[in-house]
Copies of this chain bind each other. A is one copy, B any other.
Amino acid sequence: MPEKILVVGGVALGPKAACRCKRLLPDAQITLIDENVYISYGGCGIPYYVSGETQNLDDLRSTPYHTVRDAAFFAAMKGITVRTQTRALSIDRQAKTLLVKELASGKEEALPYDKLVLATGATPRMPKVEGGDLANVLSLTRLEAAQAIRTACEGGKLSSAVIVGGGFIGLEAAVALADMWGVKVSVVEMMDQILPGALSASLARMAAHDLATHGVAVYTSEKVVRLEGTDGAVRKVFTDKRELDAQLVIFAAGFLPNGQLAKDAGLDVTPFGAIAVDEHMRTSDPNIYAGGDCCSIRNLITGKPGYLPLGSMANRQGRVIGTNLAGGEARFPGYVGTWAVKLFELSFSGVGLTVERARKEGFDALSVSVEQLDRAHFYPEKSMMSLELVLDKASRRVLGLQGACSDGMALKARVDAVAAALQCGQPNVEDISNLEVAYAPPFAAAMDVVNVVGNVADNVLSGRFTPVTADTFIDLWKKRQENGIFFIDARPAAAGKSVQERHPDWHAIPLEEIAARVAEIPRDRPVALICNTGLRAYDALLILARNGVTNTVNALGGMQAVNKMGLLL
C-alpha cells in the first residue's frame, strides 16, 4: 500500500514538505488541502507587489522559471493532488482521518492518512475596535488584499492610509505606499518604539527618523481606539491621542498561530497557542508533523520555546518535514532570530536578542554600538554602518547583533556571520573581535566594523571606558544646567567650532589638541566626549585618563548616530 500523506495548508511549508516527500518517495499519495483559492505564494512579497516593484501578482506564486504554482502545476509537475477551498475541520487520531469540508458545496468528507502535516499558518491579529468591519480595513497576508490595494493606488484613489503596528510588515507596507504612490501614511504603534523586540530603542530612533524624513508619520505609545467610515468604507482613525485621515487601514499588529485544529485533536500546544514540535518537527503524535507559522520552535539563545513566523523558516522546516515523512531523520534544531527590513535610506537587520529583550529574559545584558564604514575608508563606494552588539556582562557571551546601513546587503553580511556563529556555538566577545570575514577594500575594512564592535565591547566590559548611547548623550547635553557635565567635541576643529559658536557650553577641543589643552578641562565635573563616530573621542578619553581626568563618558557612534536619529543639539 502506498503511503497516504495529507498536508493541511498550502502557502509555504505545506507545498515544500509535500514536494520534498514526493521526490524521495515517488509512490506516496500526497494530498494538500487549503481553504483559500491561491496556494504556494510568497506572502513576504506582498509589499513589493503593492509598491509596483513586483509587477504581476502571479510573480508571487511562480517558480523562478515563471510557471504559476496552481493545482494543475502540482498535479502535472510534482504528482501532488491539491484541493483548494477545502477546510480542515477536525482530526480523528485514532481512526487516522481528517475531516474536511469543501467550501463551495458544503460537502464534508473524512480523508484517511498515514502521516499528516499541519501547515495551518497564522492569523493576523485584528484588535477588536469599533469600525473594524468597515471596508478597506484589512491585513496584508492574502493576495486578494494586495490586489485591492494596488488597484486603488493605480487608480489614484488612495491618498491616506493608517498602518496599525510598527513591525516588519507594517513598515514595509508604509514604505510601499509612501515611496511609490505618494500616499500619506501614518504608522500607529502601541509600544514605545517601532520594531519592538527587533531593535534597541536607539536603533529604532534611527528607523523612525528615516521614516519621518520620507513623509511617514510614526506615532508610538499610541493605540487605535475607533474607526469611522462613510458609506461603509473607512475614512478616519481615532487613536487615544489624535484623529487621522485614512482611506485604508492595514492591521499589521502581529500574528496568532493557528493551533486550534491541533489543540482540538489533543496535540501539545504552547500557552500562546502554537503547536509544539520536537527537533524532527514532529508533534506529540508521531504520525503528525507541523511547521511554519503555526508552530513554536526553540529559541537557541534563550533555550526556550519561541515563535518566529517567517517564510524562510517555513521553507527550511518544510524540507525537514518532507525528508522525515519519507522515513528520514532530518533535524531542525531551532532558531536564533535573524531578520532584515528595507526602509527608505536605511535598511535594518539583526539577530538574537536586543538589549531590552535580553534583560527581560534575565540576562545581565549590556549593548555597545559603533559607527564605521562598511568598506576600506579609501575605497570610493562605501556606507556608514551602525552596529550594536548585545552581551551578557559576566560571561561575555554574545546575545545578539542589530544594525542599520544604507547598503542593506553589507549589513546582512555582518549580521549573517554573527547569526551563523550563534547557531554553531555560544560565541563570546573575543570570537567577534577575531571573527574572520572576507576582506578586500571593496568589501570590508582591514579591521572590519563587526570586529570593531567586538573590540569596543571588550573595552567597555574591561572597564576601559564608560559608554553612553548617542541619544543619552543628547539628553545629557539638554540637561547640562542640572548635571554640570563638561562637553567636549573631539572632531577636527571646524566641525566642533561651528557648534561652539551657537552653544558656548559645547567645547570644541580636537583630538590633536587635547593633550596640550588638558588644563582647560575641569577636574571637578564629569566630562562627556563626542566626535564623528566615537573613534577620536575614545582616543581623547585615553589621553584625558593619562592626565588624570577619569570621570568621563564617550558617546557611542558619535555625531553620525546623533544625525541618524534626527536629534538636534
What is the interface of chain A, defined by CB distance below 8 A to chain B? 12, 16, 23-24, 26, 42, 44-45, 48-49, 53-54, 59-60, 62-67, 76-77, 79, 168, 172, 310-316, 319-320, 330-333, 335-336, 338-342, 347, 349-351, 372-373, 376-380, 407-410, 412-421, 423-425, 427, 430-431, 433-444, 446-448, 451, 455, 464, 491-492, 511-512, 515, 531-533, 535-536, 539, 542, 545-546
Residues on B with C-beta less than 8 A from A409 are 407, 409-410, 413, 443
Smallest CB separation, A389 vs chain B (Å)? 14
Specify which chain B residues have a CB less than 8 angstroms from the CB of A378 in the assembled complex.
Answer: 42, 45, 48-49, 54, 59-60, 62
Chain B residues within an 8 Å CB radius of A172: 440
Does A416 lie within 8 Å of B437, measured CB to CB? yes
The residue from B64, B437, B440 contacting A44, defined by CB atoms under 8 A apart: B440
Interface contact B443-A319, CB-CB below 8 Å: no
Q: Contacts of A410 on B, CB cut-off 8 Å?
A: 409
Subset of 19 A-B contacts with CB under 8 Å: A42-B446, A60-B378, A62-B378, A64-B533, A65-B491, A66-B492, A76-B512, A312-B436, A312-B444, A316-B447, A332-B434, A336-B436, A339-B438, A340-B443, A408-B443, A409-B413, A416-B417, A417-B419, A420-B424
> How far apart sit A431 and B332, CA to CA, in the bound complex (Å)?
9
Would you give the shortest CB distance from A281 to chain B, in whole angstroms?
Answer: 11
Question: Complex: how many Å from CA A319 to CA B350?
Answer: 26
Copy number in the complex reads 2
Inter-subunit contact A65/B492 (CB<8 Å): yes
* Further contacts, 15 of them, CB under 8 A, given A316-B434, A341-B440: A24-B464, A45-B378, A45-B379, A45-B441, A48-B379, A67-B512, A172-B440, A312-B437, A320-B434, A331-B430, A339-B440, A413-B413, A419-B437, A421-B424, A423-B435
Contacts of A26 in B (CB 8 A): 542, 545-546
- Give CA–CA (A500, B545) in the complex, Å: 77
Please report the C-alpha to C-alpha distance between residue A24 and residue B311 in the assembled complex, in whole angstroms: 47
In contact, A412 and B424 (Cβ under 8 angstroms): no
Given A42-B446, A447-B312, A536-B65: A379 in contact with B340 (beta carbons within 8 A): no
A425 to B333, CA, bound (A): 15
Chain B residues near A531 (CB-CB < 8 A): 65
User: B77 to A379, Cβ gap below 8 A?
Assistant: no
Q: Which residues of B contact A12 (CB under 8 A)?
A: 446
When C-beta atoms are compared, the residue in chain B nearest to A409 turns out to be B409
Residues in B neighbouring A511, C-beta threshold 8 A: 77
Which residues of B sit under 8 angstroms from A407, Cβ to Cβ? Answer: 409
Chain B, Cβ-Cβ closest to A342: B442
Least CB distance from A345 to B in Å reads 14
